[in-house]
Amino acid sequence: MTQLFALVDCNNFFASCERVFRPDLEGKPIVVLSNNDGCIVARSNEVKALGIPMASPYFKSRDLLRCHGVHVFSSNYELYADLSARVMTVLAEFSPDLEVYSIDEAFLSLGGFADPEPHARTLRTQVKRWTGIPVSVGIAPTKTLAKLAGERAKKDSQRDGVLALTSPAAVQDALARTPVGDVWGVGRRWSKRFEAMGITTALDFTRQDEHWVRAKMGVTGARTHAELLGRACFALESQPPSRQSCVASRSFAASVTELIELQDAVATFAARAGERLRAGGLVAGQVTTFVLTDHFKAADAGFDGTATVTLASPSNLTADITRAALHALTRAYRKGGRYKKAGVMLVDLSPEGEAQHTLFSAPAQDQDKAKRLQRALDIVNGGNGDRYGARDLVRVGAFAGAPGVKSWHLRRDNRSPRYSTQWAELKGVT
């Protein structure tokens, strides 16, 4: 087999990130919570052994976690994103063809290696040594099989974190050991249908007629079926597809009723969305603001709102986006609503250098001046290139919210320090 894919998966990624700067937690049970400390979204192996389920509400598990001495952390996305970027940088040293699939997973091309396992073990050792993050590696002739191999490598302690499916016998054994619901691309809905028909393993699935699979699951299901049979249908995407939209949103720790506080939140989300656009070299033509209530409370029904504003000229400048987002908010907001979430979505995206300007666009000289000002603000605020600045030190003067803790801010009572991105939170020597 000349073509081989490797799926590198960070083990218990969020929990592993918490251990990088806290070696005293090695071997200790750890959970990480979702936004507003709502649910358990990451568990160390020690917690999995206790039988504490994923996605269980924190308030229901609090006593059990305390009883077992589990260390509880609020989500620390700044730390996780930075360590993810470090892992991906190390992986790029091992293959010129790299697809970052998610914050904790990446596909690599290992074509040309007669025996890829030693290379994968070296990769695994290097990632751990340079970043502190343990990873598992699955190797196979297709991405779907590599994903399957990665899961087997993670669960089988005898594999030492690496499994290569490079022979028909190895593939058959892995397929037989894998429940059909664990196959990448099958999902829970199809797995229940298959199990009712007696198709319980990935091997059972491969034995189904491909025309039957296509008729039942469509083209995507047929491709998954073919990939399990060793025929590559999904290519490595070393260049991510162009974004169609950019969203910055958040669920609130407490309900928000006043427009002025929503303006504070929306202005912050607009700034975040603008940062992401500039980082990707994109501009937006339209800005949408949405506000949502708690759908489980009948009294809040009918207060959800959304509105869209078209920019006079495509832009990624915070001032332009914020102005449009706040204007849209005044149309989406309804007095009396108890809002639990808000967000800003940027659409009609295009590369910055290819944006079509209109008769109403600002003169080129004014545009250049605005861009230079934005770059200066990004440096001061630690966004879009200088991550060690003071976040939100300088903000757009579009609102006058009251100082102090806002209801819309995330509840993160147990957040660890942002060791690698904030000067004031660097790890000290003790």
Residue-level pLDDT at 245: 85
Going across the sheet that includes 30-33, the strands are 40-43, 30-33, 71-73
CA dihedral 295, 301, 302, 308 (to 10 degrees): -20
Residue-level pLDDT at 5: 95
Read off the pTM. Answer: 0.80
Tokens of 255: 């309900």
Integer Cα distance of 131 and 117 in angstroms: 21
Residue-level pLDDT at 356: 61
Residue 44 confidence (pLDDT) above 70: yes
Residue-level pLDDT at 178: 94
In this prediction, residues 66-86 reach a mean pLDDT of 94
In this prediction, residues 190-205 reach a mean pLDDT of 93
Integer Cα distance of 26 and 65 in angstroms: 17
Assigned CATH class of 245-381 = alpha beta
Express each pLDDT in 146-173 by its tens digit.
999 999 999 887 788 999 999 999 999 9
CATH T-level fold of 5-164? Alpha-Beta Plaits (3.30.70)
- SS3 of residue 247 by DSSP: strand
Residue 298 confidence (pLDDT) above 50: yes
Residue 320 confidence (pLDDT) above 70: yes
Residue 389 confidence (pLDDT) above 50: no
Residue 89 confidence (pLDDT) above 80: yes
Compute CA distances 233 → 221, 230, 268, whole Å.
11, 9, 41
Assigned CATH class of 178-228 = mainly alpha
Tokens of 351: 């590369």
Residue-level pLDDT at 31: 96
Lowest-confidence pick of 206-215, 343-352, 382-391: 382-391
Lowest-confidence pick of 93-107, 220-234, 350-364: 350-364
Contacts of 131 by beta carbon, 8 Å cutoff, 6+ apart: 20, 83, 86, 87, 90
Express each pLDDT in 261-286 by its tens digit.
999 999 999 999 998 999 888 999 99
Confidence of residue 388 (pLDDT cuts 50, 70, 90): very low
Q: Where in the chain is the domain with CATH 1.10.150.20?
A: 178-228
Residue 400 confidence (pLDDT) above 60: no
Q: What is the mean pLDDT of the chain?
A: 87
Complete DSSP assignment for 267-326: HHHHHHHHHHHHHTTEEEEEEEEEEEE-TT-GGGTT--EEEEEEEEEEE--HHHHHHHHH
Beta bridge partners of residue 271, listed in sequence order: none
Class of residue 97 by CB neighbours under 10 A (exposed 0-12, middle 13-18, buried 19+): middle
Q: Terminus-to-terminus CA distance in the chain, angstroms?
A: 52
Express each pLDDT in 348-383 by its tens digit.
998 887 656 555 556 666 677 777 777 777 776 765
Q: Where in the chain is the domain with CATH 3.30.70.270?
A: 5-164
Confidence of residue 295 (pLDDT cuts 50, 70, 90): confident
Residue 107 confidence (pLDDT) above 50: yes
In this prediction, residues 274-303 reach a mean pLDDT of 87
* Nearest CA-CA partner of 13 in 1, 30, 28, 27: 30
Q: Where in the chain is the domain with CATH 3.30.1490.100?
A: 245-381
Integer Cα distance of 29 and 349 in angstroms: 43
Class of residue 27 by CB neighbours under 10 A (exposed 0-12, middle 13-18, buried 19+): exposed
Compute CA distances 81 → 77, 196, 217, whole Å.
6, 40, 35
Residue-level pLDDT at 372: 79
Give the helix/strand (H/E) hosting 344. strand 339-351
Residue-level pLDDT at 364: 64
Higher pLDDT, 410 or 321: 321
- Give the pairing of strands 162-164 and 245-256: unpaired
Give yes or no for a contact between 141 and 147, defined as CB atoms under 8 angstroms apart.
Answer: no
DSSP letter for 1, please.
-
Residue-level pLDDT at 357: 59
CB atoms within 10 A of CB 162: 22
Tokens of 245: 């939209």
Burial 185-221 (b: 16+ CB within 10 A, else e): bbeeebbeebeeeebebbbbbbeeeeeebbeebeeeb
* Nearest CA-CA partner of 287 in 325, 329, 333: 325
Integer Cα distance of 122 and 246 in angstroms: 37
Express each pLDDT in 54-65 by its tens digit.
999 998 999 999
Give the helix/strand (H/E) hosting 102. strand 98-102
DSSP letter for 357, please.
P
* Nearest CA-CA partner of 36 in 249, 254, 268: 254
